[in-house]
Amino acid sequence: MFTGIITDIGEVLETERRGDLRVRILSRYDAESIDLGASIACDGTCLTVIASGSVEAGSDSRSWFDVELSAETLSASRFGSQPLVKGTLLNLERALKVGDELGGHIVSGHVDGVAEVASVRPEGDSLRVEFKVPEMLSRMIAPKGSVALNGTSLTVNDAEGCSCGVNIIPHTRKVTTWGNVAKGDLVNIEIDMLARYVARLQSADPDLG
């Protein structure tokens, strides 16, 4: 489980196709704290660490970790349409621990689909970002509800049809990859877990709606 509060921006160092796609990601996490088998959300996608180590670059010490993306993960996320390449930046979040502050909302790291940035415009000090959302997910997104976009917990400001909008404050732009957002970008979307189960119940018993 995660909270959608990004704690680092990772950078893809290399990729290798070994049946599944193996990816090495550079981060500022303490290498000794990254256990094999640990879960790290990469742009909202829960991935399992299969190797880790450290990199020394002068006075700067950073870590790396390897993950594997299956065909299912690639097909369900933006990584299938926008392949990961060296230099790609990713929002990272370590798995939630018992006792941690729940600053965002409960995020599973199981991406529901891909949204497209329809427009970006300044709104005060923030950025107003509108998205085109897959029709099957749009009915599970509600104004003032929560949504995870590229792993970031965000509040939905408006939702109509297959469109929804959020405001991204300066702090979020600084500590995540949202500072580089542009029209046409594809993003991983995970709808609120409660909305997912409500929709499932309604499809099983329409009278519940």
Question: Which 3 state secondary structure label does DSSP give 207?
Answer: helix
Name residues whose C-beta falls within 8 Å of residue 145's C-beta, 6 or more positions apart in sequence.
155, 156, 159, 192, 195
Structural domains in the chain plus CATH codes? 8-94 (2.40.30.20), 113-203 (2.40.30.20)
Q: Judge residue 78's burial from the number of C-beta atoms within 10 Å of its C-beta, 0-12 exposed, 13-18 middle, 19 or more buried.
A: buried
User: Tokens representing 99?
Assistant: 């006792």
Which DSSP letter does residue 2 get? B
Q: Is the dihedral of CA 143, 146, 151, 157 positive or negative?
A: positive
SS3 per residue for 65-111: EEEEECHHHHHHCHHHCCCCCCCCEEEEEECCCCCCCCCCCCECCCC
- Residue 167 CA: distances (Å) to CA of 45, 104, 155, 179, 197: 22, 15, 8, 12, 26
- Residue 11 CA: distances (Å) to CA of 27, 84, 131, 168: 7, 10, 25, 22
d(CA 45, CA 79): 10
pLDDT reported for residue 59:
62
Q: Judge residue 125's burial from the number of C-beta atoms within 10 Å of its C-beta, 0-12 exposed, 13-18 middle, 19 or more buried.
A: exposed
d(CA 87, CA 208): 48
Q: Which amino acid is at 153?
A: S
| Ordered per-residue pLDDT tens for the chain, 209 residues | 999 999 999 999 999 998 899 999 999 999 899 999 999 999 999 999 999 999 876 567 789 999 999 999 999 999 999 999 999 999 999 998 887 877 888 899 999 999 999 999 999 999 999 999 999 999 899 999 999 999 999 999 999 999 999 999 999 999 999 999 999 999 999 998 777 767 666 666 655 55
